[in-house]
Structure 1
Amino acid sequence: MPELPEMENYKILLNQKIAGKNITDIQINREKSINLNPEIFKRKVLQQKVISINRRGKHLLFQLQTGQVLLLHLMLGGWMFFGLESERPKRTIQVQISFGDFQLYFIGLRLGYLHLYSEQEAEEKLSHLGPEPLINSLTLNYFLEIIEHKHGRLKTTLIDQEFIAGIGNCYSAEICFHAGILPLKDIDHIKEPERIRLYHSLRSVLQEGIKYGGYMDNPVFKGDTITGGFNMRCQVYDREGKRCNRCGANIVNEIISSRKTFYCPNCQM
């Protein structure tokens, strides 16, 4: 599932491609991917200029000139591709938005969605989300304050979108590894020095994930050399049975709250 770095990468690249351009056509191949009657959806969106693309947690917000917002959540298996019709991926397309000769393809939206809301409605839909992990207002002191009220396993807390927005399976594993803390560890047993380390690891890993285009390697456009670059830099995620790059022990995979959880049993305490 795309997480904060993947969605931030989409935000950056799509702003370069479609910000300031008008939507010239829309194809809805799966009505459940949108929240309105297809004809009403088209009428409200066609010929609208995309002013900008913003991100909140794992969501993208396409800001239209009318003040309305296309709210996207890719969920599990969702991705996007921007290109000419001749470059169309050989995959099932749930929604297709045209910008002249170029198309933005929404793929794998079996669980995900592209909904049209007013700005206020979009804010309400996202109001449950916790703070963004990389904003200046999430200081170390604030992080220590909010984690003080959490209990249970660290992994479960890190992927809780109401605690901090945007972290999922991949980056929770990488953050815990970077900090040298077991994701299975109960937060009540994590002392302040470890919590401080966790805060700095959280910011460091997410910034690196953004820098290298996230871990999901479906290109956003033909010739895209950025997207997916973090995949080869993952230290524990999806590396079960492989050697830890830090200590040489074998990476372990356990299920916590129905989620795969990767870690090094030797150098994470």
Structure 2
Amino acid sequence: MPELPEMETYKHLLMANIAGQMITEVQINREKSINVNPELFKNTIMHLKVLNITRRGKHLLFELQNGQVLLLHLMLGGWMFFGTDVEKPKRTIQIRLSFGEQHLYFIGLRLGYLHLYSQKEAEQNLSDLGPDPLDSALTLNEFLKRIASKHGRLKTTMLDQKFIAGIGNCYSAEICFHAGILPTKDIDDCNELNRTQLFHSMKLVLQDAMKNGGYMDHPFYMGDSLTGGFYDLRKVYDREGENCYLCGSIIVMDMVSSRKTFYCQNCQK
């Protein structure tokens, strides 16, 4: 599932390609991917410019000329491609927004969605999300205050979007490895030094992943050399049975709250 670095990468690429551009055509191939009648959806956004794209957690918000917002959550397996009809991937397309001869394709939206809202409705839908982990307002003191009220496994807490928005399966594992803490550890057993290290590791890992285009391997456009650059920089995620880059021990996969997590038993305590 795309997480904060992947959605931030998409945001920057979308800003560079469609910001200020007019939607010239709308194609809906899967009605369940939207939240209103297809004709209403089309008529509401057709011939409008996309003024801005912002991110909130794992969501993207396409701010339109008429004040309406398209709220995107790719969920598990969702991705986007931007290009001409000739360049598009040979995959089932759920939604297509056209900008002249260039099109924005939404692919793999089995669980994901592109919903049409007013600005107020969009804000209401995102109101229960926690702070963004890279927001300057999330200081160490604020983080320590928030985590002090949490209990249970560290992994489970990091996946809780009401605690902090944007971290999922991949980066929770990478952050815990960077911090040298087992994701299976109970928060109550983490001292202040552990929690402080977790905060700094969170900032560093996410910033590094953003700089390298996240871990998803689907290019956003033909010739895209940024998207997916972090995949080869992963230390533990999806590396079960491989050697740890630091100590040579075997990376372990475990289940926490029905979610896979990966770690090094030697480097993480």
Q: TM-score, normalised by structure 1?
A: 1.00
Hey, what does 1:181 align to over in structure 2?
181
Q: Which amino acid aligns with 2:58?
A: K
**Aligned residue in 2 for 1:91:** 91
Q: Which residue of structure 2 lines up, in the alignment, with residue 12 of structure 1? A: 12
For residues 124 and 218 of structure 1, the distance between their equivalents in structure 2, rounded to whole angstroms, comes to: 31
Determine the structure 1 residue equivalent to 2:241.
Answer: 241
Distance (whole Å) between structure 2 residues aligned to residue 221 and residue 128 of structure 1: 33
Whole-Å separation in 2 of the counterparts to 1:126 and 1:135: 16
Secondary structure at the counterpart of residue 87 of structure 1: coil
Distance 1:35 1:195 in 2: 40
Q: What CA deviation, in whole Å up to 9, does each residue of 1:95-126 have, x standing for no partner?
A: 00000000000000010000000000000000
Give, as a single letter, the amino acid of the residue that structure 1 aligns with 2:18.
I
Matches within 5 A, 1:118-133: 118-133=118-133
Distance 2:198 2:234 in 1: 17
Indicate the residue corresponding to 1:142 in structure 2.
142
Shift in Å, 1:220: 0.3
The aligned residue for residue 226 of structure 1 is 226
Amino acid across the alignment from 1:106? F
Deviation at 1:175, TM superposition (A): 0.1
- Percent same amino acid at aligned positions? 67
Paired residues for 1:155-170 under 5 Å: 155-170=155-170
* Amino acid in structure 1 at the alignment position of 2:155: K
Which ranges of structure 2 fall in alignment gaps of 5 or more residues? none
SS in 2 for 1:22: coil
Q: Helix, strand or coil for the counterpart of 1:166? A: coil
The alignment's TM-score, normalised by the length of structure 2, stands at 1.00
In the alignment, residue 226 of structure 2 is paired with which amino acid?
A: I
Letter in 1 for 2:114: L
Residue 55 of structure 1 pairs with residue 55 of structure 2:
yes
Q: C-alpha distance in 2, partners of 1:67/1:188?
A: 45
1:94 is paired with a residue whose SS is strand
Q: CA deviation at 1:151?
A: 0.3
Structure 2 counterpart of 1:251, one-letter code? I
Amino acid at match of 1:204: L
Matches of 1:181 and 1:81, distance apart in 2: 37
State the match for 1:38 in structure 2: 38
Deviation at 1:35, TM superposition (A): 0.5
SS of 2:86's equivalent in the other structure is helix
CA distance in 2, matches of 1:141, 1:261: 27
In structure 2, give the amino acid aligned to 1:142.
E
Render the CA deviation track for 1:26-54: whole Å, top value 9, x for unaligned: 00000000001100100001001000110
Name structure 1 gaps, 5 residues minimum.
none
The Cα of 1:217 is off from its aligned counterpart by: 1.0
Counterpart secondary structure, 1:86: coil
Distance 2:14 2:252 in 1: 36
Amino acid at match of 1:28: I
Q: Secondary structure at the match of 1:71?
A: strand
Offset of 1:238 from its aligned partner? 0.2
Write the distance in 1 (CA, Å) between the matches of 2:87 and 2:41. 26
Moved over 2 A (4+): none
1:218, distance to aligned residue in structure 2 (A): 0.2
Paired with 1:176 and 1:16, the residues of 2 have a C-alpha distance of 33
Amino acid at match of 1:201: S
User: SS where residue 156 of structure 1 aligns?
Assistant: helix
1:179 is matched by which residue type in structure 2? A
User: Residue type of the partner of 1:88?
Assistant: K
In 2, the alpha carbon distance for the partners of 1:173 and 1:184 equals: 10
